[in-house]
Every structure is written in structure tokens, then in C-alpha cells.
Structure 1
Amino acid sequence: MESQPNNPLHGIKLGQIVEQLHAHYGWDGLADRIDINCFKNDPSVKSSLKFLRRTPWAREKVERLYLKTDFK
């Protein structure tokens, strides 16, 4: 396994990112911050992950929000 010292998301799974953001903001808060349907219409972690894995631009927005969020 390669070392990725410059990648702040190294070792963090997409599922963990979505679960932490959901716990912090809730679905409504996520939908306000990122305008994608998987957070607006009948949201769930499973359906969000399915969409985000197939949609690179949306995944990038979620990852950026994760990096900007202070979970303390």
C-alpha cells in the first residue's frame, strides 16, 4: 500500500464521510450546503453512497465539505 502524505482523505472511506456529515448537519443541512438530489429526495446513506460513487463531481463537493467541516 502506498503512503499518501499529501492526501488528507487517505484511509477515510466515503461511507464514513457521509455518515459523519449526516450526523453533523442532518440531511436538510447537507441539502442546503450541496445541491444534489441524493440529499433532498428520500435520503439515506446507502442511496447517497450509490450516487456519489458514480458521480465524481458530486463526490468532490462532499469531500470538500468534509475537509472544511470542524467536527469538534
Structure 2
Amino acid sequence: MEKLRFEFVMKAAADKKSNALMVTSITTPDGEIFDIPAELQEVSLHTELMKTDIYKKIKNTNLKRNQKRNVWILLNAELKAA
């Protein structure tokens, strides 16, 4: 199975008062880094990614603003299709 490294960052939400979890980049095992445009970074736009167990663990950690987590996620059929 193929895997990709996702960078999750807690950033200011649109209202600038609350926090929102964002996916800022995706890295391949070869080291290629793909930055995600700002308008597509919000996790709520990535529904298949939100269904993974790793996302649920990251969501439950107490991230403060500007903290980030880099995690490897194995791509299943649903993630590859999205």
C-alpha cells in the first residue's frame, strides 16, 4: 500500500477568534512536497481524510494555535479515489 505524509496545523479560523485544523502539505515517500492552497486547507473539505483513525487521534490531541503534526497515512481505496 502507498502512504503519504500529511501535515496538520492548528490555525486561526475565518473569524480569527477560534482555531481550525488545517492540512497544509502532503509529502510522498520520495520527498516530494505538495503545498495545499490556503482556500483548500480546512480539514472539513477533506471528508475521506476525516474518516481515518489517524485523523481522529490528531483531532483529540490538544493542539494550540500554530502547532503542527506530521503523520503518515496509508492510502486505502477510498482515499485514492478522493
Q: Which has the higher helix share?
A: 1
So what's the TM-score if we normalise by structure 1?
0.32
Q: Which has the higher strand share?
A: 2
Ranked by relative contact order (alpha carbons within 8 Å, sequence separation 6 or more), the top structure is 2
